[in-house]
Chain A
Amino acid sequence: MAFKLASSPHLNTSAQTKSVMLKVMLCAVPGVLAQCYFFGWGAIIQLMLAIAVAMAAEAAVLTSRKRQVWPTLSDNSAALTGLLIGVAVPALAPWWITTIGAIFAIVVVKHLYGGLGNNIFNPAMSAYVMLLISFPLQMTTWVAPTGAALNDVSLLSSLQIIFQGASSQEILAYRAGFDGVSMATPLDAIKTSLSTGLTIDEALTLPSFSDGFGVGWAWINVAYLLGGLMMLKLKVIRWHISIGILGSLFVCAGVGYLLSPDTHTGPLLHLFSGATMLAAFFIATDPVTAATSPRGRLIFGALIGVLVYVIRSFGGYPDAFAFAVLLANLCAPFIDYYVKPRAYGHRSSH
């Protein structure tokens, strides 16, 4: 036979893994730009570094696994993982933080589990959690958003700080935009305030909340929301997970706020601070580690939302998406097993 016999169907959509991944990355552009705007050049440097390291690591592992390098590398999944790590680490974190994170994500989380499609945990979030636990100081030292920072960081000094290291004074200086509180993110600020006995309303009067949501963070979230909506429009992702997360987070936060407005932040603050939008649209929607059926995905998303709220409100970490996503990843096979759609012609759903 001169030609290879192919099984039906003989038609296919143009959608391919690489284009899907590429679209996801493009849709992240608004959010990345917003981060750049608020955190300076450091964000984009971290992004580039993470992508480069992730792809290099992918190539290295593929070679050692005796796989074809280019076809797999060109599916853009490693680049996307790198991108997510890049936006997750603090803008002025030392270079080795990003490097370790990207290598860990690709080598340990992805390839040790069998490569693309076989990993149980979200690589980017696993790497983030690993970094957060191993290097808590560097990982929580966020530079002050430009809007609040007194001294802007130039490209050159960003590079210098990231690659040559910076004295703690310098960093302190950079983020000393507001009364020397050594907390970086608004959620952190609130947590600290609460622990010192302040109410939410009092905490929100802090300088970092000068615009009501935490300087810059709300805009970054809006930018990611925009990107997420673009993805929905392009049908790169389905709505179930994102809506599940946002919905359950909103409901939980709303209930908490109604019960005790003094000790619980409002739902809007939850939705537009921290990594909410980034995680809801770009991280939790990673199909490999999520549940697969529409109903299962809704449950998966809702689970993440609840976990985020619980950890944010009662846990020790200011933001909780990485942990919530990983915990939900653990539950995904379980959800899939119990949430099977009723197949055609089957009356009882079991």
Chain B
Amino acid sequence: MLTLFEQIDKGTLWKIPGGIHPPECKTLSSHSAIARLAPADHYIIPVPQAGDAYSLTVDVGQNVLKGQALTHGEGFRYLPVHTPVSGKVIAIEERPSNHASGLPVLSCVIENDKQDTLVSSIHPRLDPSDVVKMDNEAILSRIQQAGIAGLGGAAFPTHIKLKPVSEIELLIINGVECEPFITSDDRLMQEHCDEIVSGITIIHQLLSPKRIVIAIEDNKPQASEQMRHALNRSTLPSDLAKVTVIPTLYPSGGEKQLIQILTGQEVPSGSIPAQLGILVQNVGTAYAIDQAVYCNMPLIERVVTLTGSHVGQAGNYWLPIGTPIDDLLGKTQYLGNDDDPLIIGGPMMGYMLPNRHAPVLKGTNCVLMPTQQEIAPERKEQPCIRCGECAVACPAQLLPQQLFWHAKAQEYDKAAGYNLRDCIECGCCSYVCPSDIPLVEYYRVAKSALKVEAEEKKQAELAKQRFDSRTLRLEEEKRAREEKAKQAANKRKAAMSNNDKDAVAEAMARIKAKKAATQTENVSDAPQDKVAAAIARAKAKKQTKTVEQTENSVPTQQEKVAAAVARAKAKKLAQSIAPVKEPATETPDPREEKVAAAIARAKAKKAQQTATNEEPGLTTQQEKVAAAIARAKAKKAAKAKESRNSDACDAAAPVLDAQPETISADEAKKAKIAAAVAKAKAKKRAQAQSADADSANAETSHTSALTAHCATDGSSADISLTPAQQKQAKIAAAVAKAKAKKLAQQSLTNQEHAPTEASIGPDSAPEDGVTLADAKSQKSATSEADEAQIASPAEIKKAKIAAAVAKAKAKKLTQESMLTNDQNKD
């Protein structure tokens, strides 16, 4: 029994099961030397994990140098991305990816300045003696910083592979290239064998394996010849490294299959070759390692085979990573049409590119541009006759027909039972299938479904854990709270025995307050309109306050109770009024709103002094003008607003005192939310209102006087509520949305029944759309009508300035009113 190494030295090869011999078609591209294409204008570098695994180091507009890293990250798994040319970052945005799905991924777009200015860290080639002196950390860090990923196609970070947990005894350099059409590794081995071997030497220095095998298929005699010579020239001991020529068979270039051919061992399912002490690296990767370690040159270009009968200049090219595919087509005399397929990778495992703007990636070894004759015609899937050819061809010794059967029936767990995850997607089964079944596609769908399922299971497990821990926590909190409450109660009990008088007084006060409140509410219910309600409520508040004052024994507590009661009521009222208001918030666009706001604000300013002078008729006209200027389009909507404004005087106070939220409502947000819902209704109503407006105007002098009175009264309530403003505003808005429709209709009918007062009700609603801007000053905004003239020019800028001024004023005003409030309370 020979040991494995003896057998390797002897050149023993094992046979893999299955495999196929597809037409090679390699001569299309294998004869010419690796060339270069004229540089592209733009390069697209995908950075899909930016912000997640690493951060971008560049910004749009920044100049970058060739080889400069675009990302920065920490951690062992991090792999940087570099720019392949010097130039400017012109965009960081989602671009179609070079992936079978073509889904867009975040990418940096670099505009090429065609200077090719190298970044300073890249240096001329070092002497081998310098590299020998480097320690492993330095080499690994160079490889990592160069962003080297496996160039065979899978693009797994190389530095991770080069730092295995277990000892590597056998290093396999994969130069098999078993896919038809592709010749990039073949040409690279022929032209850059010395660099490849020096890369292998570096890996040897890192891992010191006992044997190194360079595996090359027997259809590449020149390449194996060149590699042999390069090995002889190198410093590697001759008994350590050898070139092994293996028979041509697809898919012997697969990592697992290659290991089986060279060692007869199988990589256990679900683990990696390192477990067997074997490491497989692609020749292209060895070359990139050489470049990274000797020149500190990052991986910014690779050899790509452009082949197929649709390309005029088939061959191998050094392509900067990030080169858009469509750019290549133009420069290599593409003969096909736009709807001819492009295949990234070989015909067996490659995928059709959905979008030609996608860039070349690190793992892109071939762009195949086939004619219809070169690839399988699109054939209709026929029923499986279970001929078993697929099972014979399968190199993983699976039963593809069973997998297919279950995958098609979406019994994915059963498919998993037939070792679906060991499928390497080599495509041998589909290749031999007489029924033209796209087996691999079924497996991929099944695999991704299984992945999703596993993910969901994990998610569910996590959710359950979190749910359980939350329930536990809540229970604990509850227990703690109860404990605390109990303690507090005990304490209070102890204290209570002394002064239960206080408690009695407190209770009495509460009852009285309630009574008073309900009484006033009963009164206010009768007229059933908002203004009256507001007035009544304001009065009620006053009453409660007087009640409080009579109950001087417990002043502070009493006050709090009253405040709470008032607040609760206000909330209630807010909710009932809000719906009415909602329709009004329809303000079709924020600009108009701003104008209106400015008007209102300006009005408010003057109103402080001249609260009684009002010319409602004028206001409406003025408003019309203003609105027309601001938004000539929405005349109808503007009308709604005028009527709103005309009524603003009367309604302002009630609205204000009922709903401090109007203060904050000047945020366009709210308007936005409600706008859509209310617009339609409001328009309709606005027309009805404009009719009413005239009659309403007649009454305004009366009502305004009333409301002015209310306002002063209400100020106390309104201020007390201000802390709750924002939140409530939003609550109101949310609640209002649902009710808006209904109420709008109601208010319409209300209007007709009680033209004078009811018209105020619904119109108070418009109020928040307009006066919302600075409802803080609304207390005085009751009689500002004439001020509209000031703002009527209604330029947005001006309005904005006015808004700023008004805001400042408003602040002041609130403070003032707070003061008065305090005084009131006292």
Contact = CB atoms under 8 A, between A and B. Distances in A.
Direct A/B contact, Cβ within 8 angstroms: yes
Interface string A234-266: 000010000000000000000000000000000
B386 interface: yes
A238 B351 CA distance: 32
B219 interface: no
B740 interface: no
Contact of A15 (B270, B395, B434, B440): B434
A33 B432 CA distance: 32
A118 B444 CA distance: 24
Contact of B383 (A117, A294, A340): A117
Contacts of B351: 7-8
Interface in A1-58: 1-13, 15-17, 19-20
Nearest to A2: B339
Contact of B419 (A6, A10, A15, A346): A346
Contacts of A343: 269, 396-398, 419, 422
A71 B383 CA distance: 11
B286 interface: no
A117 B399 contact: no
A16 B431 CA distance: 11
B435 interface: yes
B526 interface: no
A232 interface: no
Interface string B699-735: 0000000000000000000000000000000000000
Contacts of A6: 341, 352, 376, 378, 438
Given A2-B338, A16-B434, A288 B347 contact: no
A3 B397 contact: no
A339 B354 CA distance: 41
A346 B341 CA distance: 38
Contact of A342 (B23, B380, B397): B397
Contacts of A118: 383
Contacts of A13: 431-432, 434
Contacts of A115: 383
A347 B22 CA distance: 30
B352 A11 contact: no
A344 interface: yes
A160 B85 CA distance: 88
B181 to A, nearest CB: 10
Interface in A97-126: 115-118
Interface in B367-414: 368, 370, 375-376, 378-380, 382-389, 391-392, 395-399, 401-402
Given A1-B354, A15-B432, A345 B267 contact: yes
A4 B202 CA distance: 45
Nearest to A5: B352
B440 A117 contact: no
A347 B375 contact: no
Interface in A53-96: 71, 75, 77
B434 A17 contact: yes
Contacts of B256: 344-345
Contact of B391 (A11, A16, A292): A292
Contacts of B431: 9, 11-13
Interface residues of B, number: 67
A5 B344 CA distance: 12
B269 A8 contact: no
A193 B194 CA distance: 84
A238 B388 CA distance: 9
Q: What bracket does the count of chain A residues touching chain B fall in?
A: 35 or more
B350 A238 contact: no
Contact of B436 (A1, A12, A77, A116): A12
A290 interface: yes
Contacts of B399: 292-293, 336, 340-341
Nearest to B428: A9
B402 A292 contact: yes
Contacts, number: 163
B440 A347 contact: no
Interface of B is mostly: loop
Kindly name the residue among B354, B382, B396, B436 whose own CB sees the greatest number of chain A CB atoms within 10 A: B382
Contacts of B73: none
B378 A8 contact: no
Contact of A75 (B343, B382, B389): B382
A147 interface: no
Contacts of A212: none
A293 B398 CA distance: 9
Contact of B440 (A1, A7, A294, A346): A7
A344 B264 CA distance: 11
A70 to B, nearest CB: 11
A15 B376 CA distance: 12
A89 B396 CA distance: 44
A287 interface: yes
Interface string A320-350: 0000000000000000100011111111000
B667 interface: no
B396 A344 contact: yes
B343 to A, nearest CB: 6
Contacts of A117: 383-386, 435
Nearest to A77: B385
Contacts of A19: 434
Given A5-B354, A287-B387, A345 B370 contact: no
A3 B355 CA distance: 11
B37 to A, nearest CB: 25
Contacts of A7: 351, 430, 438, 440-441, 444
Contacts of A290: 386
A17 B435 CA distance: 6
B160 interface: no
Interface in B352-373: 352, 354, 368, 370
A297 interface: yes
A345 B269 contact: yes
Contacts of B434: 13, 15-17, 19-20
A25 B818 CA distance: 103
Contacts of B354: 1, 5
Kindly name the residue among B22, B351, B397, B438 whose own CB sees the greatest number of chain A CB atoms within 10 A: B397
B350 A8 contact: yes
B425 interface: yes
B276 to A, nearest CB: 11
Interface string A284-317: 0001101011100100000000000000000000
Contacts of A347: 268
Nearest to A285: B387
Given A8-B440, A11-B180, A346-B269, A294 B388 contact: yes
Contacts of B398: 341, 343-344
21 contacts: A3-B352, A5-B341, A6-B378, A7-B430, A8-B349, A8-B427, A10-B343, A10-B376, A11-B375, A12-B379, A12-B436, A17-B435, A20-B434, A117-B385, A287-B386, A292-B391, A342-B397, A343-B419, A344-B17, A345-B256, A346-B419
Given A6-B438, A345-B266, 7 more contacts: A4-B378, A8-B351, A11-B431, A15-B434, A71-B380, A294-B388, A294-B391
Interface of B: 17, 22-23, 100, 180, 256, 260, 266-271, 338-341, 343, 345, 347-352, 354, 368, 370, 375-376, 378-380, 382-389, 391-392, 395-399, 401-402, 418-419, 422, 425, 427-428, 430-436, 438, 440-441, 444
User: Nearest 5 CB-CB pairs, A to B?
Assistant: A9-B427, A2-B339, A7-B441, A117-B383, A345-B269
